[in-house]
């Protein structure tokens, strides 16, 4: 399996830190978020990783060049941001018409990649996508899902003031090629997974709840919480 790590974001809510540091290289316990992801993916039997860049791209490229995994990483630069789905669509040849993993490099998680893949491989008939889920303490800031008895997503509510529960979309997915075919049918270079793709596949998305730690490092507050809560390496 191959994977896409989305690392092109501006990180505006983390300023002034991200005035000079790209969001994916923000450190927790002295390690950039990107390194946690690369270790987790490659140790989880992912073969190759594609990383998109945009903001402070040179810093990301320099960091990747020093990585122990550099020979298994491909960088692709976006002059204009294409959206989460647009990046998938622009690089569909990289995934070789097979299932692949997509993740945001600015999330911090103890996701078991092997278990996530096994869940997808055992998915019910008709399921085209598996979505990582986590329990959130701020449901109003997340996309909240409800599942049926098979674990298939039946409802998805994006950042509502009255959320229906605390089981949230972790923005880590395994997608089958037919999902990319649907993106292509939209006829646009810019595609958003949350607003355009997930609603179309409602009832065909399997949920996988992350057993360990998960936090979106989107704000200075969430970053400080992660630095307090996340286990230090070693």
Is residue 91's pLDDT more than 80? yes
Dist CA 22 CA 118 (whole Å) = 32
- pLDDT tens string 101-149: 999 998 999 999 999 999 999 999 999 999 999 988 767 667 888 899 9
CA nearest to 198, candidates 37, 84, 80: 84
Q: To 10 degrees, the CA torsion angle through 31, 208, 216, 191?
A: 110
Longest dimension (CA), the chain: 48
Dist CA 210 CA 213 (whole Å) = 7
Domains and CATH numbers, the chain: 2-229 (3.90.550.10)
Q: 233 versus 187: which is more confidently predicted?
A: 187
* pLDDT band, very low/low/confident/very high, at 10 (cuts 50, 70, 90): confident
CA nearest to 129, candidates 141, 120, 137: 120
Q: Are the CB atoms for 183 and 100 separated by under 8 Å? A: no
- pLDDT tens string 183-229: 999 999 999 998 899 999 999 999 999 988 998 888 888 899 989 99
CA distances from 191 to 45, 84, 104 (A): 28, 7, 15
Is residue 29's pLDDT more than 70? yes
* pLDDT band, very low/low/confident/very high, at 163 (cuts 50, 70, 90): low
Q: Are the CB atoms for 41 and 3 separated by under 8 Å? A: yes
Could you tell me the pTM of the whole model?
0.92
């Amino acid at each position: 399996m191959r994977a896409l790590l989305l690392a092109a974001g501006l990180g505006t809510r983390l300023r002034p830190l991200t005035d000079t540091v790209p969001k994916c290289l923000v450190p927790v316990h002295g390690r950039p978020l990107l390194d946690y992801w690369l270790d987790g993916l490659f140790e989880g039997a992912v073969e190759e990783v594609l990383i998109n860049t945009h903001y402070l791209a040179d810093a990301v490229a320099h960091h990747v060049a020093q990585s122990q995994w550099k020979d298994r990483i491909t960088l692709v630069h976006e002059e204009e941001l294409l959206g989460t789905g647009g990046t998938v669509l622009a690089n569909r040849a990289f995934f070789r018409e097979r299932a692949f993993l997509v993740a945001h490099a600015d999330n911090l998680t103890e996701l078991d990649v092997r278990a996530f893949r096994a869940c997808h491989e055992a998915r019910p008939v008709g399921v085209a996508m598996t979505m990582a889920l986590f329990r959130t303490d701020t449901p109003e800031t997340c996309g909240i899902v409800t599942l049926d008895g098979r674990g298939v997503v039946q409802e998805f509510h994006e950042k509502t003031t009255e959320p229906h529960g605390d089981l949230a979309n972790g923005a880590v997915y395994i997608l089958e090629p037919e999902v990319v075919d649907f993106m292509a049918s939209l006829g646009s270079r810019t595609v958003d997974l949350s607003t355009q793709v997930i609603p179309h596949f409602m009832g065909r998305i399997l949920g996988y709840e992350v057993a360990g730690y998960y936090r979106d490092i989107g704000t200075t507050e969430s970053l400080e919480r992660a630095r307090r809560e996340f286990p230090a390496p070693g």
